[in-house]
Chains A and B, each alone.
Chain A
Amino acid sequence: MGKTYIDMDVRYTKEGSLIPKELIWQDDRSFTIAKILDVRQAASLKAGGEGIRYTCIVAGKKVQLFFENTRWFIET
């Protein structure tokens, strides 16, 4: 299990929330975040680290994205 930092297109709402919209993979392929199921502070024991964890549906699969300080990572 590793930790892969990724580019992310996000929307800042007028209430100040941060919503991830599109994930850009290392080979420049982009994937739309279809649905956000859960948002909470959490640790990633697999990748190593902690941050705001977004549990999302991407390309029909459940994926956990972490917002760590100023960067996004995904457990790989």
Chain B
Amino acid sequence: MRSILHCDLNNFFASVECLYRPDLKDKPVAVGGSTKSRHGIILAKNMPAKTKGVKTGEALWQAKQKCPGLIVLPPHMEQYVHFSTLARDIYLRYATRLESFGIDECWLDITAKADTLSKAAEIADEIRLTVKEELGITISIGVSFNKIFAKLGSDMKKPDAITLITKENYRDIVWPLPADDMLYVGKATKRKLNNLNIFTIGDIANAPVELLKDVLGKWGQVVHTYALGQDTSPVALFDELSDTKSVGNSVTTPRDLTSKDDIKQVFYVLCESVAYRLRKHGLKGNVLQIHIRSNNLDIMERQCTLSNYSSTSASMIDACMELFNNNYSLKVPVRSLGMRITGLIPEHEDFTQLSMFDTTGEKDYKNDILERKIDDIRGRFGHHIIHRAIELRDTELQHSPIDKKITHSLPSPRNKK
């Protein structure tokens, strides 16, 4: 039997902020974005704020209504990445298989060190105390025989706690929980399940798998397997973390985007950032996805395949605009835009056959040389030294994610065999 831990750093951003401000420890504190640039939502809150009903994701004004004395601190992303790295260093003392799930959550496979779950719980307790001692923040750990139940366990008792879910007790602990507590059961799946009179994880486990498959497709089988505790998916090997799946950026703009020129300008900024990061890490990709959020907060995602593997912004911008024009009419202004490239390969594995009739590949080759020269210039004199003219039409929309250092650093690509 496997011993899997799911480690969740409690109220992560708020805990790190409170560590540096001990005077605020017992006061309600939240980390929130800037209201002026319309990022004014709660990113994290500490326990006193939580008890007053402050929720992650709500607007700052809503949170302040619920909790008048709420202290809102700006986020320090580099600090959080630093703490996340330190926490992973602690985990790696116990586990070789470690899979991140966001900046503050991790699965660990410690079967090699603990052949029973009771031993795993002892190790989990040691990790809990070490994190508290070395980092000064608390952690909740779920201990179980598969990843799904371990994740459920870490959500059950917070903060600073261990929850053990074994083959003997999972029916009593897991099955009474609401269906959407389980990973991969979101709003839409929950609604479909509720229509079938399925409300708890136990109901999923006891439902006929054929019925679930009829309603949820192949996910029906998967969700049924998860509810029965039969998930066998492995925790990724630590090295596998370097297998980057996508490179992307998104931005909520300081004002709503109402014209195609606005959209084009923002896509240019995003494409330049993504293309720069792809080149920096020696990657190319051929699947482009865009993400549009309107000012009534509806979200739309669309994707297309590029004709060649590419790491140039010039090839991406045309695809972005084509996808946008084919799918969005701009009747409702746009609040936030994102784009990402997937289908990644190391650039030395890209052997593109240039076509005699289609010049796209040739143009991309020339653009690649040009953009690498621009990278050189920016490397020597700074990102701001050279810009596309379109970025000057509205300087409010000009800010690149690279300037704000809000891009996540990528691990080096793993050599694929």
Q: Is A44 located at the chain interface by the 8 A CB criterion?
A: yes
Contact yes or no, A48 B134, CB < 8 A? no
User: Are the C-beta atoms of B21 and A48 separated by less than 8 Å?
Assistant: yes
Q: Report, nearest first, the 6 A-B pairs whose CB atoms are least far apart.
A: A43-B136, A48-B22, A41-B134, A48-B20, A43-B135, A45-B136
Residues of A within 8 A of B19 (CB): 43, 45, 48-50
Is the CB of A40 closer than 8 A to any CB of chain B? yes
Q: Is the CB of B22 within 8 A of A42?
A: no
- Which of A41, A42, A47 has most chain B Cβ within 10 Å? A41
Smallest CB–CB gap between B224 and chain A, Å?
Answer: 43
**How long is the Cα–Cα vector from A47 to B86 in the complex, in angstroms?**
19
Bound complex: CA of A17 vs CA of B133, how far in Å? Answer: 22
* Choice from A1, A42, A46, A49 contacting B20 with Cβ under 8 Å: A49
Cβ-defined contact, B21 with A42, below 8 A: no
Query: Which residues of A sit under 8 angstroms from B137, Cβ to Cβ?
Result: 43
Contacts from B to A (Cβ < 8 Å)? 19-22, 83, 86, 132-137
Q: Which of A15-53 contact B (CB under 8 A)?
A: 40-50
Q: How many contacting A-B pairs (Cβ < 8 A)?
A: 32
Give the B-binding residues of A (Cβ under 8 A).
1, 40-50
Interface centre among B22, B86, B137 (most CB of A within 10 A): B22
For the residues of A in contact with B, the DSSP-based class is: strand
User: Which chain A residues lie closer than 8 Å to B135 at the CB level?
Assistant: 43, 50
Measured between beta carbons, the chain B residues less than 8 angstroms from A40 are 134
Shortest beta-carbon distance from B129 to chain A in Å: 12
A49, B83: Cα distance in complex, Å: 11
Could you tell me the distance in whole angstroms from the C-beta of A64 to the nearest C-beta in chain B?
13
Q: State which of B21, B22, B83, B86 has its C-beta within 8 Å of the C-beta of A46.
A: B22
Contact indicator B134/A1 (Cβ below 8 Å): no
Give the shortest distance, in Å, between B73 (CB) and chain A (any CB).
13
CA gap between A49 and B136 in the complex, in Å: 8
Q: In the bound complex, do residue A50 and residue B22 qualify as a contact, i.e. CB atoms below 8 Å apart?
A: no
Closest to A47 in B: B22
Chain A residue at minimal CB-CB distance from B18: A48
Q: List 30 interface pairs A-B (beta carbons < 8 Å), by A numbering.
A: A40-B134, A41-B86, A41-B134, A42-B133, A42-B134, A43-B19, A43-B132, A43-B133, A43-B134, A43-B135, A43-B136, A43-B137, A44-B136, A45-B22, A45-B136, A46-B22, A47-B22, A48-B19, A48-B20, A48-B21, A48-B22, A49-B19, A49-B20, A49-B136, A50-B19, A50-B83, A50-B86, A50-B134, A50-B135, A50-B136
> Smallest CB-CB separation from A42: which chain B residue?
B134
Contacts of B133 in A (CB 8 A): 42-43
Question: In the complex, A11 Cα to B374 Cα: how many Å?
Answer: 43
